Amino acid sequence: MNKTSYFQEAIDTVENLTCEEQKMLIQIIQNRLHEEKRAELIEEIKQAEKEYKEGKFKKGSVKDLMAELDL
């Protein structure tokens, strides 16, 4: 089975749930996505702190940042 057919199978399964079950599923998925984003953010912060401690950072103004981003 390819990815598209798995996705379609998931949609078909969800459509067979009651309205209340679908609402519960949406809440569960949203909670898991929030947890995943939170975990990613924590890792990014840890990496930034590590780089800061190692002196791998640049100081500058917003203007400097915008110039570096070429905006």
Q: What is the pLDDT of residues 13-33, one digit of tens each?
A: 999 999 999 999 999 999 999
What pLDDT, on the 0 to 100 scale, is given for residue 56?
87
DSSP secondary structure, 30-67, as one string: HHHHHHHHHHHHHHHHHHHHHHHHTT------HHHHHH
Query: Maximum CA pair distance of the chain?
Result: 56
Q: What does the pLDDT read at residue 33? A: 98
pTM for this prediction: 0.65
pLDDT at 37: 97
Please list the ranges in the chain whose pLDDT falls under 50: none
The predicted structure's pLDDT at residue 71: 62
